[in-house]
Amino acid sequence: MTPSSLPVIRLKPKANARAIRHGAPWVFDNELVTDRRTKAIAPGSIAVLEDAGREPLALVAVNPKSRIMGRVLDLDTSAEIGEAWLRERLARALALREKLYDAPYYRLIHAEGDGLPGVVIDRFGDVAVIQPNAAWAEALLPELVAALREVTGVTTMLKNAGGRARGLEGLDDESAVLEGAAPVGPVEVPMNGAVYMADLTGGQKTGLFYDQRPNHAFAARMAKGARVLDVFAHVGGFSLAALAAGAESALAVDGSEPALELARAGAEKMGAAGRFETRKADAFEALTALAEEGARFDMVICDPPAFAPSKQALEAGLRAYERVARLAAPLVAEGGILGLCSCSHAADLAKFRSACLRGIGRAGRAGPLIHTGFAGPDHPQHPNLAETAYLKALFFRL
């Protein structure tokens, strides 16, 4: 579809057109003139966004069913959004990852951070898992698959339709095999010297959390000869990296037995099964029980799910982070390391750090903050979108 044939949507007079010109990626419904014609635009359509004076600002993906009614795709209003445009964005993203990583295991597309709003693509060798979390990406999925095949050469593409974002866009939750055949069993993923087992069809999100890679690496540097406790361990992110770096032992705690099975399989592949234990339990109950047992560890890492996924959940989320810190701190041996993580974008770094410090203090412990970590460079931050800078990891020496 050529730009001249596209529908037009318009900002209200008091809306901030300058923010769009300076890179703001989202246009909310209350910033737009939402007349009958605008509301009738099919979700996922591409439109020209104009300012109140009818000056073209950008090409946007429109979804009248979403609060984020417009997602900026290109400030060049003469661009044609199609397979060639997608190839260019994918190629740019691939070039960065190929400079960063020796093997094709990484997040290839991090939504707005890579100029493809609402799209997440994780790569596992010859397999790509796509999360089209915005209506425009769902509408252009055949073109995205074709472009991805041409740019990367991947032979299998899976669609993951889980998660909250698709529901907010009015999209279905039906995952699918888009091309090739789904892997039979878990896929081996080499990272930080460890081997992880990723379930690409039945696991959480796309099967593995690449974002913690640099934080796993930092923890592993401190883990040689250490007794390690990995809470909310999923498939053993921190514990397997620690074992690969020479940890004396590691205990992984998670509420999901399938995730722990994958963690055990990873330890087995690494030849570290003899130094690895798992415990299926609620994390808060496990932390309490370990304290009652008198357990002590040289390193305790807690990497919970998003306790504050929205502004409405912020206060309850911060209390949960404080509680994690309060229960985990007593388990750290004198001079040991406590790592606390948050993937809640609503809890910014300052609020998360304050919650952690309150919990540590209430546990009667203290010590310097020795490292602050974020997501890896395959999760580029959009400078105008705080949501892309969601991950924080704090390491204290108690």
Which strands, in side-by-side order, build the sheet including 56-62?
8-10, 45-50, 56-62, 68-74, 26-28
Query: For residues 147, 152, 158 and 159, what is the CA-based torsion angle, rounded to 10 degrees?
Result: -40
Residue 198 contacts residue 221 (beta carbons within 8 Å):
no
Residue 239 contacts residue 184 (beta carbons within 8 Å):
no
Rg over CA atoms, the chain: 22
| Rounded-to-integer distance, Cα 206 and Cα 90, Å | 18
| Rounded-to-integer distance, Cα 158 and Cα 128, Å | 6
Helix axes 314-328, 349-362, angle to 10 degrees: 40
Residue 157 contacts residue 192 (beta carbons within 8 Å):
no
- Letter for the amino acid at 304? P
Q: Which two tokens stand for residue 295?
A: 């357990």
Query: For residues 274, 227, 295 and 330, what is the CA-based torsion angle, rounded to 10 degrees?
Result: -150
Residue 168 contacts residue 67 (beta carbons within 8 Å):
yes
Q: How far is CA 357 from CA 228, 337, 363, in A?
A: 21, 14, 10
Residue of 302, 341, 343, 356 with catalytic role:
343
Helix axes 283-292, 314-328, angle to 10 degrees: 20
Spatial CA neighbour of 211 closest among 58, 331, 390: 390
Active site residue 343: yes
Active site residues: 343
